């Protein structure tokens, strides 16, 4: 009995404005209409999406715009200081969710994190995996040595393909429940994405120099 | 008050309650506070009117004349005084907004006035007509003139609120300075909006465009390029870049130098000659938009000199600056993660985009004929006015902007750690953890930077502060979480706290180039008498909004749950409500606060019962499900 009271009580919280009950995840109070705080929910729930790595990017954007339309500080410019502050927190949380889910690398790490597998993307520099290290060094050299637009264009296209292939592998690993493998692949994706960017930058520079 | 004014103010979104005393809150306009010229516009039902002077001119030259009799003149008249009394007239002050000593050094020689930096550092000051003025105060004078213009155009109705545009590439210090200037001019800033975003809003709503667009904005003193995704009322900035000190002025200076070299006047070039050469350069540049060549005369100190210039020569002088803008465009297209060919249209903004050379280069780079069907001088103010209306009367459009510059912290060994990368959507909050590097360390210096490169000395310092009261621990044991927060105006605040011990040392910082609150207060007292009640009035208004919110909240709760109260209790709540409503529109802030307090206390038990009722209902629901 006490447990169910606790559950029932946890699903409603007092509205800061009218002090009455409001559902814990509600954006607005159903009685007085005041905007509520962002709370601590996962990025997928915040944007009303299924928690999966394979998200529909168009839907992500649509949901993001939809929530921002209601919660952005521009909607609250004439409201009280408290409402302005809450809308800023809401919009900040939406931006964080959108930025995390939009990027395949951050999304992969986030999905794995939700499943209890931490991927440290900020740990820079050292690659623990000797095979990955070797491969990266070779490719980086190839990009550095590329001396014609054809070569760099080819390398850049290859790097892009590898990024996409790696994303597919991550998706498959997550769906198959092979989470350790998915963590490994996510770290790989980080380096592949970096390489692809280097190749693209060099390609742009070399193409420009030609003109 | 005119009937027209009343009609304007009574309309509001259906179902939305107007803010109390909205008529006293005054009208909201859009202001493009430009380097060379400023423009003010007003929007009603998304019909925008650019407000003009009695001669039908929309552009207000951003020039201030400080006369010997102490009076201040802004605009056309001030610009005409440049020649007679160059040392009494200030122009292009926007270039110095939020600037410190380092920035002034890099501008050396391009500023036609004497600049001094206070020994304690901070914002530069100008010596004008025997006075020492901050760029903030000078901008405030321009804003006051704009406000006057707007009020005259609006039949004397008070204009107290505005959306003010700033270059997207304006940093935190320059944005803060702009907001401070508005405060001195007694204008409440509803929002600082980036100039290219405002222009996109004006274009998007007018032409119902969709897709990826670039906004190329070359003003007198600043250059911005933004890439936006536009669709059904959403304006999402994908990437932005620019140069806060690159603009048409640079081209004028190049031409003026060319003229002065030709003139070969006395050994020392006088301030008067520089100003006259600059004016002639500006005229020549404008003439050569429509012609291939021309001849101009500079006559001063009894020396007259003739100067001819062809468009080819002008373009040769201007090319380095235009090339630089194209280089910046290239970087921003890359940042947006798109290909130039993905861009469906290019919008030109700013008077300097009238130059044929600029149009040619932009068309070449984007492979598109640029759009300029809205006057490039007015489009930013039009967008600002639309946004001012959206913020005060409601709207479906959504502007999603980004941080123009990466923000970070100096770590050990002068290395920069990025906390917020550029082109991150705002508002944003991001945190980074740092640790102590000495045993028993109880304080930590934190240096906040605007990141241009990887090394500290190539970055701009925004603020330094010390987090004290860290409990002594072994080196590396403390966890200091530094949080950067950028609000919807693009303004940064930084907090730091030690995480492990629960002991919270916390500090909030403002950028070092800004004016302190004390300085602002004393400026308000000194020369801006009009604005001296500013703080009081704002606090009162905030209290009124808050009280109105509380009244409505209690009324909604009563509508829903009045049955939880006895007749006596209900009557008590009603009397508290009536009391608050009776003082709400007055100007006695204490009475409002007291009545709010009484209403909150008077409804505490009611709130508890409402919460309790919802728990009971939830339980009842559970039981039904369980059966
Ligand atoms: Zn409520």
Q: B500 C-alpha vs ligand 1 centroid, how far in Å?
A: 36
What distance in Å separates the CA atoms of residue A24 and residue A30, rounded to the nearest whole number? 12
What distance in Å separates the CA atoms of residue B413 and residue B435, rounded to the nearest whole number? 14
How many CB atoms sit inside 10 A of residue A29's CB?
23
* Model confidence pLDDT, tens digit, residues B376-420: 999 999 999 999 999 998 888 899 999 988 999 987 777 888 899
Q: How confident is the model at residue B622 (pLDDT cuts 50, 70, 90)?
A: low
CA dihedral B380, B95, B419, B436 (to 10 degrees): -160
List the CATH number of the domain containing A154.
1.20.1280.20
Does B208 or B606 have the greater pLDDT score?
Answer: B606
In a domain, A10, yes or no: yes
**A97 and A146 part of one domain:** no
Instruction: Determine contact, residues B223/B215, Cβ cutoff 8 Å.
Output: no
Active site includes B439? no
- Residues paired with B165 in a beta bridge: B32, B193
Within 13 Å of residue A31, how many CA atoms lie on the same side as its CB? 27
Query: Quick one: average pLDDT of A15-23?
Result: 91
Percentage of chain B lying above the pLDDT 90 cut? 41
Q: How confident is the model at residue B299 (pLDDT cuts 50, 70, 90)?
A: confident
In a domain, A107, yes or no: no
Put simply, whether A207 touches B (Cβ < 8 Å) is: no
CA dihedral B332, B335, B338, B342 (to 10 degrees): -20
Instruction: Determine contact, residues B352/B219, Cβ cutoff 8 Å.
Output: yes
Which of B611, B613, B626 should we substitute to test contact with A (largest number of A Cβ atoms within 10 Å)? B611
Beta carbons within 8 Å of A39's beta carbon, 6+ residues apart: A24, A25
Q: How confident is the model at residue B15 (pLDDT cuts 50, 70, 90)?
A: very low
The C-alpha angle B454, B460, B464, rounded to 5 degrees, equals 105
Query: At residue B518, does pLDDT exceed 70?
Result: no
The C-alpha angle A18, A19, A24, rounded to 5 degrees, equals 105
Q: For B25-247+319-401, which CATH class?
A: alpha beta
- Please count the helices (runs of H) and the strands (runs of E) in chain A: 8, 2
Does B69 or A1 have the greater pLDDT score?
Answer: B69
- Of the residues A61, A84, A102, which one is the last residue of a structural domain? A102
Query: At residue B3, does pLDDT exceed 60?
Result: no
What distance in Å separates the CA atoms of residue B42 and residue B384, rounded to the nearest whole number? 9
**A91 and A135 part of one domain:** no
Instruction: Determine contact, residues B473/B394, Cβ cutoff 8 Å.
Output: no
- Encoded tokens for A6: 């606790």
Q: Which of B186, B217, B401, B410 is catalytic?
A: B217
pLDDT at B21 (0 to 100)? 41
Distances (CA, A) of B23 to A152, B158, B159, B585: 64, 9, 10, 12
Instruction: Determine contact, residues A171/A187, Cβ cutoff 8 Å.
Output: no
Does B457 or B287 have the greater pLDDT score?
Answer: B287
Q: Do B234 and A65 touch (CB under 8 A)?
A: yes
Query: At residue B10, does pLDDT exceed 50?
Result: no
Q: Do A31 and B557 touch (CB under 8 A)?
A: yes
Q: For B405-519, which CATH class?
A: mainly beta
Query: At residue B199, does pLDDT exceed 70?
Result: yes
Query: Quick one: average pLDDT of B480-506?
Result: 81
Beta carbons within 8 Å of A120's beta carbon, 6+ residues apart: none
In a domain, A111, yes or no: no
Q: How confident is the model at residue A157 (pLDDT cuts 50, 70, 90)?
A: very high
- Encoded tokens for B492: 């940064």
Query: At residue B232, does pLDDT exceed 70?
Result: yes
Active site includes B327? no
**A147 and A202 part of one domain:** yes
Which of A61, A77, A193 should we substitute to test contact with B (largest number of B Cβ atoms within 10 Å)? A77
Query: Quick one: average pLDDT of B149-160?
Result: 87
pLDDT at B520 (0 to 100)? 61
The structure tokens 């699903």 sit at: A11
pLDDT at B578 (0 to 100)? 95
Burial of B272 (0-12, 13-18, 19+ CB in 10 A): middle
Name the domain count of chain A: 2
Give the residue extent of every domain in chain B.
Answer: 25-247+319-401, 248-318, 405-519, 534-619
Expressed as residue numbers, the domain containing A193 is: 130-209
Which three-class secondary structure string do you get for B491-531? CEEEEEEECCCCCCCCCCECCCCCCCHHHHHHHHHHCCHHH
pLDDT at A167 (0 to 100)? 96
Q: Which of A4, A18, A204 sits opposite B554 (nearest CB)?
A: A18
Query: At residue B201, does pLDDT exceed 50?
Result: yes
Chain A nearest-CA distance from B555, in A, is 8
The two beta strands, B480-486 and B492-498, are antiparallel
Does A146 or B8 have the greater pLDDT score?
Answer: A146
pLDDT at B570 (0 to 100)? 94
Architecture of the domain spanning B248-318: Alpha-Beta Complex (3.90)
* Model confidence pLDDT, tens digit, residues A50-64: 999 999 999 999 999
**A50 and A136 part of one domain:** no
- Encoded tokens for A110: 């986030």
pLDDT at B533 (0 to 100)? 60
What distance in Å separates the CA atoms of residue A127 and residue A135, rounded to the nearest whole number? 11
Q: How confident is the model at residue B308 (pLDDT cuts 50, 70, 90)?
A: confident
- Encoded tokens for B284: 């020549």
pLDDT at B596 (0 to 100)? 95
Q: Which of B195, B273, B315, B377 is catalytic?
A: B195
pLDDT at B610 (0 to 100)? 93
Q: Do A18 and B622 touch (CB under 8 A)?
A: no
Active site includes B285? no
ipTM score for this prediction: 0.89
The two beta strands, B159-166 and B188-194, are parallel
In a domain, A152, yes or no: yes
Q: A17 C-alpha vs ligand 1 centroid, how far in Å?
A: 5
- Encoded tokens for B502: 């629960």
Of the given ranges (A149-163, B82-96, B422-436, B447-461), which has the lowest mean pLDDT? Answer: B447-461
Query: Quick one: average pLDDT of B222-250?
Result: 90
Residue A13, SS3?
Answer: strand
- Of the residues A102, A120, A145, which one is the last residue of a structural domain? A102
Q: How confident is the model at residue B425 (pLDDT cuts 50, 70, 90)?
A: very high
Burial of B185 (0-12, 13-18, 19+ CB in 10 A): buried
Of the given ranges (B134-138, B387-391, B445-449), which has the lowest mean pLDDT? Answer: B445-449
Instruction: Supply the mean pLDDT for chain B.
Output: 84
Provide φ and ψ at B206, rounded to 5°.
-75, -40
Q: How confident is the model at residue B19 (pLDDT cuts 50, 70, 90)?
A: very low
* Model confidence pLDDT, tens digit, residues A82-102: 999 999 999 999 999 999 999
* Model confidence pLDDT, tens digit, residues B29-69: 999 999 989 999 999 998 999 999 888 899 999 999 999 88
The two beta strands, B60-61 and B37-44, are antiparallel
Query: Quick one: average pLDDT of B601-610?
Result: 93
**A14 and A87 part of one domain:** yes
In a domain, A159, yes or no: yes
Q: How confident is the model at residue A168 (pLDDT cuts 50, 70, 90)?
A: very high
Q: How confident is the model at residue B585 (pLDDT cuts 50, 70, 90)?
A: confident
Of the given ranges (A120-129, B17-26, B377-386, B459-468), which has the lowest mean pLDDT? Answer: B17-26
Q: How confident is the model at residue B528 (pLDDT cuts 50, 70, 90)?
A: low
Task: Give the distance, in angstroms, between the CA of residue B550 and the centroid of all CA atoms in the same chain.
Answer: 31
B89-91: strand order across its sheet: B72-74, B63-66, B89-91
How many CB atoms sit inside 10 A of residue B138's CB?
26
pLDDT at B450 (0 to 100)? 85
Which three-class secondary structure string do you get for B238-290? EEEEEECCCCHHHHHHHHHHHHHHHHCCCCCCCHHHHHHHHHHHHHHHHHHHH
Which CATH number applies to B534-619? 1.20.1270.10
Of the given ranges (A17-21, B468-472, B599-603, B610-614), which has the lowest mean pLDDT? Answer: B468-472
Of the given ranges (A59-73, B263-277, B365-379, B498-512), which has the lowest mean pLDDT? Answer: B498-512
What distance in Å separates the CA atoms of residue B389 and residue B48, rounded to the nearest whole number? 10
């Amino acid at each position: 009995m006490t447990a169910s009271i606790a559950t029932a009580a946890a699903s409603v919280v007092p509205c800061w404005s009218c002090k009455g009950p409001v559902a814990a995840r509600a954006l607005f109070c159903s009685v007085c209409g005041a905007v509520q705080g962002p709370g601590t929910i996962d990025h997928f729930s915040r944007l009303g999406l299924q928690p999966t790595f394979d998200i529909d990017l168009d839907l992500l954007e649509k949901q993001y715009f939809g929530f921002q339309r209601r919660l952005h500080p521009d909607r609250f410019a004439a409201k009280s200081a408290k409402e302005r502050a809450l809308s800023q927190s809401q919009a900040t949380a939406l931006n964080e969710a959108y930025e995390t889910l939009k990027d395949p690398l951050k999304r992969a790490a986030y999905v794995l994190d939700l499943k209890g597998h931490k991927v440290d993307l900020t740990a820079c520099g050292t690659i623990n995996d000797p095979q990955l290290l070797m491969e990266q060094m070779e490719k980086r050299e190839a990009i550095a040595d590329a001396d014609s637009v054809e070569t760099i264009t080819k390398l850049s296209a290859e790097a892009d393909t590898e990024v996409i292939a790696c994303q597919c592998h991550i998706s498959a690993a997550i769906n198959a429940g092979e989470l350790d493998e998915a963590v490994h692949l996510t770290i790989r994706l980080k380096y592949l994405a970096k390489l692809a960017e280097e190749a693209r930058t060099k390609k742009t520079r070399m193409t420009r120099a030609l003109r | 008050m005119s009937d027209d004014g009343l009609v304007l103010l009574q309309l509001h979104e259906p179902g939305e309650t107007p803010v109390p005393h909205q008529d006293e809150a005054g009208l909201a306009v859009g202001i493009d506070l430009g380097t060379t010229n400023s423009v003010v516009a007003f929007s009603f039902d998304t019909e925008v009117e650019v407000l003009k002077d009695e001669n039908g001119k929309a552009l207000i030259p951003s020039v201030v004349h400080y006369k010997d009799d102490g009076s201040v003149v802004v605009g056309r008249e001030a610009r005409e005084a440049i020649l007679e009394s160059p040392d009494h007239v200030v122009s292009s002050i926007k270039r110095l907004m939020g600037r410190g000593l380092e920035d002034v050094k890099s501008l050396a020689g391009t500023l036609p006035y004497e600049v001094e930096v206070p020994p304690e550092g901070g914002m530069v000051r100008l010596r004008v007509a025997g006075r020492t003025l901050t760029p903030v105060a000078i901008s405030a004078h321009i804003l006051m003139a704009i406000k006057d213009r707007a009020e005259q155009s609006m039949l004397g109705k008070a204009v107290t609120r505005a959306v003010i545009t700033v270059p997207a590439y304006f940093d935190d210090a320059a944005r803060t300075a702009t907001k401070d200037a508005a405060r001195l001019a007694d204008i409440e800033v509803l929002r600082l909006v980036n100039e290219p975003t405002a222009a996109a809003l004006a274009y998007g709503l007018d032409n119902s465009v969709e897709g990826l667009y670039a906004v190329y904005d070359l003003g007198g003193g600043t250059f911005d390029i933004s890439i936006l995704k536009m669709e059904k009322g959403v304006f999402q900035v994908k990437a932005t870049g620019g140069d806060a000190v690159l603009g048409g002025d640079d081209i004028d200076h190049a031409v003026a130098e060319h003229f002065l070299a030709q003139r070969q006047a006395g050994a020392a070039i006088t301030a008067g000659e520089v100003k006259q050469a600059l004016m002639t350069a500006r005229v020549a540049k404008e003439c050569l938009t429509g012609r291939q060549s021309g001849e101009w005369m500079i006559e001063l100190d009894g020396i007259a000199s003739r100067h001819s210039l062809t468009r080819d020569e002008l373009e040769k002088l201007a090319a380095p600056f235009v090339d630089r803008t194209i280089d910046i465009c290239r970087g921003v297209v890359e940042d947006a993660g798109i290909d130039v060919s993905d861009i469906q249209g290019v919008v030109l903004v700013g008077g300097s985009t009238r130059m044929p050379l600029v149009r040619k280069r932009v068309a070449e780079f984007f492979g598109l004929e640029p759009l300029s069907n809205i006057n490039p001088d007015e489009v930013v103010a039009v967008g600002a006015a639309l946004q001012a209306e959206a913020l005060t009367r409601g709207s479906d459009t959504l502007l999603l902007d980004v941080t123009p510059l990466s923000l970070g912290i100096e770590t050990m060994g002068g290395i920069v750690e990025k906390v917020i990368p550029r082109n991150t959507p705002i508002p944003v909050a991001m945190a980074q953890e740092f640790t102590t590097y000495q045993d028993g360390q109880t304080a930590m210096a934190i240096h906040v930077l605007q990141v241009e490169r990887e090394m500290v000395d190539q970055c701009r310092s925004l603020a330094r502060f010390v987090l004290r009261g860290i409990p002594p621990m072994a080196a590396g044991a403390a966890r200091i979480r530094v949080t950067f927060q950028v609000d919807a105006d693009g303004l940064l605040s930084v907090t730091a706290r030690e995480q492990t011990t629960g002991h919270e040392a916390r500090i909030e910082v403002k950028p070092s180039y800004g004016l302190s609150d004390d300085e602002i207060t004393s400026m308000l007292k000194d020369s801006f008498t009009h604005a001296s009640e500013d703080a009081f009035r704002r606090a009162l208004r905030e209290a009124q909004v808050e009280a109105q919110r509380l009244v409505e909240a209690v009324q909604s709760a009563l509508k829903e749950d009045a049955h939880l109260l006895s007749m006596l209790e209900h009557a008590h709540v009603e009397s508290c409500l009536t009391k608050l409503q009776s003082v709400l529109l007055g100007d006695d802030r204490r009475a409002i606060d007291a009545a709010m307090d009484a209403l909150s206390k008077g409804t505490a038990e009611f709130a508890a019962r409402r919460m309790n009722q919802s728990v009971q209902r939830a339980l009842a629901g559970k039981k039904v499900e369980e059966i």
